[in-house]
Amino acid sequence: MLLRTTFAFALTLVLALVASPAAPVTAAQPPSPLVRVELISETASIRPGETFWVPTRQEIPPGWHTYWGVNPGDAGEPTRIEWTLPAGVTAGAIAWPYPSRFPVGIAMSYGYENGVVLPIPMTVSGAAAPGTTLSLRGQVSWLVCAKICIPEEAPVALSIPVAVGAPRPDPRGGSLIAAARRNLPVPSPWPASYAATPETVTLSVTTRELAPERVAEVWFYPSRWGAIAHAAPQRARIE
């Protein structure tokens, strides 16, 4: 559940079990991708034995969107990366920022519009030699949709030096990943509970720390497809 600003509330969702996600309509891939992708680094160098962040950044044209990797919703496929990494470097899973909602009729998808930075942790071996440069390469694939859906892919690459001293923030990448981290889900600091019937799910979070006027948005994003009717109305109540 995403609480951008949160207060005590009860969230009621219509529950419906369905058989399988709707298949997206696809078109032939154009010569050049609609979405521009690149690798950026949080730091200007890396230190042996440490973990650093190498996000992939997507620039998405107006009116189009890509998909949330946790649960794309009723249609869509998440962004994926196949890595070619030097010895001693391992890549972790993408940390997915919370998505936007894209309703189309009785379907609902979750994803990103305009642009998104997807943070990825990288760990470098303690045996990495200072003074050398590591070349990180990958093949990124994604589905971008508007009225039609187009599968796209592109290669990405980044070279980053290995140094002994504390890594300096990358002037561009550091600020982009700092902004992306503010959109990553975090555990609720307040007690939460839910009650379910065959028709509805009621989710409650209780706190005395926030005033009602501070609640800007409340949405439930299921981490697994098929547990709820994604496009069903979500009714929030503050008490």
Q: Which three-class secondary structure string do you get for 169-184?
A: ECCCHHHHHHHHHCCC
Q: 237 and 14 in contact (C-beta within 8 Å)?
A: no
| Per-position pLDDT tens, the chain of length 239 | 443 333 333 333 333 333 344 445 444 554 578 999 999 999 999 999 999 999 999 999 999 999 999 999 998 999 999 999 999 999 999 999 999 999 988 899 999 999 999 999 999 999 899 999 999 999 999 999 998 999 999 999 999 999 998 888 888 888 898 999 999 999 988 999 999 998 899 999 988 887 888 888 889 999 988 888 999 999 988 88
Residue 233 identity (one-letter amino acid): P
3-state secondary structure string across the chain: CEECCCCCEEEEEECCCCCCCCCCCECCCCCCCCCEEEECCCECCECCCCEEECCEEEECCCCCEEECCCCCECCCCCCEEEEECCCCEEECCCCCCCCEEEEECCEEEEEEECEEEECCEEEECCCCCCCCEEEEEEEEEEEEECCCEEEEEEEEEEEEEECCCCCCECCCHHHHHHHHHCCCCCCCCCCEEEEECCCEEEEEECCCCCCHHHCCCEECCCCCCCCCCCCCCEEEEEC
- State the pTM of this model: 0.81
Residue 79: half-sphere exposure toward Cβ, Cα within 13 Å: 35
Q: What is the structure's pLDDT at 216?
A: 85
185 C-beta neighbours (distance < 10 Å), count: 15
pLDDT at 96: 96
Closest CA to 123 of 44, 63, 47: 47
